Structure 1
Amino acid sequence: MSFSNSDPVNVAFAGLELHGMYISGDADYAVVKLSSGYNICVPASVCTAAPERAAATPAKVTAEPLKQDAKLPLLAIVSTGGTIASTVDYRTGAVSSKFTAEDIVRSIPELAVIARYHTLQPFNVLSENMNPAMWQELARAVHDEIASGAKGVIVTHGTDTMLYSAAAVSFMLETPVPVIFVGAQRSADRPSSDNAMNAICSVKAGISDLGEVVVCMHATSDDVACALHRGTRVRKNHTSRRDAFQSVGRGPVGVVSYPDGNVNLTGDAVLRGTHELRLFDRLEPNCGLLQYYPGMNPNLFDAFSGCRGLVISGTGLGHVGTDCIEKIAALNASGTFVVMTSQCQAGEVCDRVYETGRDLLAAGVVEGGSMLPEVALVKLMWVLGNTSRPEDAVRMMQTNLKGELDYDLWREM
């Protein structure tokens, strides 16, 4: 029997009677998404057509107000969506963001004995749909929660673009308290979900002595600790591992052990109360990021004509093919601020070593030092949103503002 995509099927296999949805296959084998959400590949001969099962109508449940201990420190949970606030839609097998901040608190009872919470949800999106306007809205929400007395802020966020949002809030906000971005690689209804441990560790970090923006995620694939990665030095380096996030070019600024919840900060960590609360929420979104590759058509740079800024992710010390330099010079002459970063995981840009680099400097390129390309893009949006003077933009891009650089390039020149 042949099936079409999404046909309901029964599977008699290994002594089990299973129900699922046909995804793909051929005359010999079939891939079926089971009701549990998992996929299996079985001989096509064990599959038979099944009537569509009507979805049960969930009973309406009126949630009781959260019971909170007034003696515990107040934290804010700002939910933006993502896997940590998601479940599987078993009809399609897709993960969708459904839970609110209050749902997260209710679903993880351990949170109630650590702190009390004010929860809000400025928007609910999977993180690939985030944009600079949302970063601004998020920074304002975090600022307002701190101004209202929160001793720390937990931001639940999808992992795909969490590094961009963490960097954006880092630049837009001077914070006296911890701001902890946290997500999950696997939704709450998966047996290997990391959402509960990540949430518990983030709350422990939220009442710690930390005083900066960090990302809190599994430090290893085991359930032993979460790492606290500075918001301007972190990258998602794996698509699905629970320890996908790593600090690039340096170590984390802290570790939260599990299950005891002890927070150990490094000497490099910014401490609580170091800065006064301030918000600088202007951004220039008309900026781009381009990764150079061998043989790249120089005409690709024309796509960024009219942009206020462009970050180039170059090779090695910060290079592109010599046939691209004329296009870069034209962009700079037309008013596009061009910053060079490197595709390398460690080290910094230095365009004074090779002839190509010196030609790039002559074309008006600004060295981005050890900044990650993604962070350089976010910082450039922030810098161009806060100054219109090119010389000030150079100084700000080359000054280590939030740990994004190893040292101040501007002062070293």
Structure 2
Amino acid sequence: MKNRICIIYTGGTIGMKETPYGYAPVPGYMEKTLRSMQEFKEAEVPDYDFIEYAPLLDSSNITVENWNQIGKDIRERYCDYDGFVVMHGTDTMAYTASALSFMLQGLSKPIILTGSQIPLCKVRSDARENLITSMIIAAEYSIPEVCIYFGGKLIRGNRSTKVSSDMLIAFDSPNYGPLAEAGVNITLHQKRIRAESKELTFCPFENNQIAVLKIFPGIQFEIFENIMTDKLKGIVIEAFGAGNIPQNDDSMIRMLQKAKSNGTYIIVCTQCPRGSATIGQYETSKHLAEAGAICGFDMTVEAAVTKLYYLLSRQYEPKEIRILMESDIRGELSRDV
């Protein structure tokens, strides 16, 4: 008997169809196409059930509520399948993969997000390989993680980031090697894969206010002071290099102190694709340290944002949130717990 997986189709380029107004998602089109394709009837391809969201979502419109819905759908069907494939638009796929990795704790089977840069309906599409390989890995391999499969590589979801809008290798995992690679054979890198767990728990996210601020030369921090209210629960700062920010005037200090007095969590990540933030390594990060900023180390911004959503939703005490943000809880950063 063949293994069975669940495919959750949320939308995205992979299932779009040509219309007089350009590519657009068409309800029912994706499932009908898959059922008609000979590749999906081959012995190597697992049996599957298909869930299509209504309405189909452009990934640019994905919200916290959509993350919760995907997580809930997986949890409710978790015991019925050997693995899950989530078809998703590429623009925010790394955010969704990171979010699912935190809200679904205790995985014992694969959850793989995939999509494509070219729709399945086109002759020269990357959709077939991405989807078929995702299905095979989800059904046949013991990888108890939320992952992204794209362009021949399976990468940890909360280590992923989109690196290209027009190349077929659209995602990378800059600070952590792939969990598997698909060439002529599918090769697992077993030492990089997290240990299997046996008890799944699901934590939906509360819709807290979180902001992201990217530092740039000449930034005027006073512009951002007005968003520093007590409603803002956290701000992720994309700093220069190892966690540095300009020290040109007092507006930056005022902004940071206002955030601190409001109890807003300040998380510092690096803008560099590779490497780590380290608060206090240079003098230009001293004001971050004085404001009680939390070091994001080598977390992606996607992971930092969704991890904070998760910890706030668990309603941990502030001290515990600070400790856990700087600890590795799902393989999202390179630091011992």
Equivalent positions of 1:359-370 (< 5 A) are 359-370=287-298
**Aligned residue in 2 for 1:86:** 16
Are residues 216 and 155 of structure 1, via their aligned partners in 2, closer, same or farther at CA, if it must alter by over 3 Å?
same
1:262 aligns with 2:186: yes
| Alpha-carbon separation, structure 2, partners of 1:129 and 1:314 | 26
Q: What secondary structure, in the 3-state scheme, does the structure 1 residue paired with 2:129 have?
A: helix
Q: Deviations over 1:315-346 (max 9, x none)?
A: 11112222313211211211211111110112
**Aligned residue in 2 for 1:199:** 131
Counterpart code for 1:84 = I
* 1:371 Cα deviation from its structure 2 partner: 0.6
1:119 aligns with 2:50: yes
The answer for unaligned runs of 5 or more in structure 2 is: none
**Aligned residue in 2 for 1:301:** 224
| Alpha-carbon separation, structure 2, partners of 1:285 and 1:105 | 38
Structure-1-length-normalised TM-score: 0.75
Q: Given that residues 351 and 361 in structure 1 are in contact (C-alpha distance below 8 angstroms), is that contact kept between their aligned partners in structure 2?
A: yes
**Aligned residue in 1 for 2:163:** 237
Q: What secondary structure, in the 3-state scheme, does the structure 2 residue paired with 1:133 have?
A: helix
Counterpart code for 1:97 = P
Q: 2:32 aligns with which of 84, 92, 103?
A: 103
Determine which structure has more spread, i.e. the larger CA radius of gyration.
1
Counterpart code for 1:235 = T
| Alpha-carbon separation, structure 1, partners of 2:32 and 2:228 | 43
| Alpha-carbon separation, structure 1, partners of 2:200 and 2:223 | 42
| Alpha-carbon separation, structure 2, partners of 1:264 and 1:109 | 27
RMSD: 1.7
**Aligned residue in 1 for 2:67:** 135
Q: Given that residues 205 and 310 in structure 2 are in contact (C-alpha distance below 8 angstroms), is that contact kept between their aligned partners in structure 1?
A: yes
Identity value in percent: 27
Q: Deviations over 1:359-406 (max 9, x none)?
A: 211112111111111211111111111124210110111110111100
Paired residues in the alignment total: 326
**Aligned residue in 2 for 1:181:** 113
Q: Given that residues 228 and 255 in structure 2 are in contact (C-alpha distance below 8 angstroms), is that contact kept between their aligned partners in structure 1?
A: no
Q: Which has the larger helix fraction?
A: 2
Q: Which has the higher contact order (CA 8 A, sep 6+)?
A: 2
Q: Given that residues 154 and 202 in structure 1 are in contact (C-alpha distance below 8 angstroms), is that contact kept between their aligned partners in structure 2?
A: yes
Q: What secondary structure, in the 3-state scheme, does the structure 1 residue paired with 2:72 have?
A: helix
Equivalent positions of 1:373-412 (< 5 A) are 373-408=301-336
* 1:104 Cα deviation from its structure 2 partner: 5.0
Structure 1 stretches of 4+ moved >6 Å: none
| Alpha-carbon separation, structure 2, partners of 1:263 and 1:122 | 32
Q: 2:90 aligns with which of 149, 154, 159?
A: 159
* 1:122 Cα deviation from its structure 2 partner: 3.5
Q: What secondary structure, in the 3-state scheme, does the structure 2 residue paired with 1:400 have?
A: coil
Counterpart code for 1:266 = Q
Q: Given that residues 158 and 302 in structure 2 are in contact (C-alpha distance below 8 angstroms), is that contact kept between their aligned partners in structure 1?
A: no
Q: Deviations over 1:289-310 (max 9, x none)?
A: 1111111111232224331111
| Alpha-carbon separation, structure 1, partners of 2:98 and 2:33 | 24
Q: Deviations over 1:227-269 (max 9, x none)?
A: 00100111111111111111111221111235xx635333111
Q: What secondary structure, in the 3-state scheme, does the structure 2 residue paired with 1:328 have?
A: helix
| Alpha-carbon separation, structure 2, partners of 1:255 and 1:111 | 21
Q: Given that residues 230 and 253 in structure 1 are in contact (C-alpha distance below 8 angstroms), is that contact kept between their aligned partners in structure 2?
A: yes
Structure-2-length-normalised TM-score: 0.92
**Aligned residue in 1 for 2:146:** 213
| Alpha-carbon separation, structure 2, partners of 1:278 and 1:103 | 34
The answer for unaligned runs of 5 or more in structure 1 is: 1-70, 219-225
| Alpha-carbon separation, structure 2, partners of 1:73 and 1:139 | 22
* 1:282 Cα deviation from its structure 2 partner: 2.9
| Alpha-carbon separation, structure 1, partners of 2:228 and 2:331 | 28
| Alpha-carbon separation, structure 2, partners of 1:362 and 1:104 | 57
Q: Given that residues 80 and 156 in structure 1 are in contact (C-alpha distance below 8 angstroms), is that contact kept between their aligned partners in structure 2?
A: yes
Q: What secondary structure, in the 3-state scheme, does the structure 2 residue paired with 1:111 have?
A: helix
Q: What secondary structure, in the 3-state scheme, does the structure 1 residue paired with 2:158 have?
A: coil
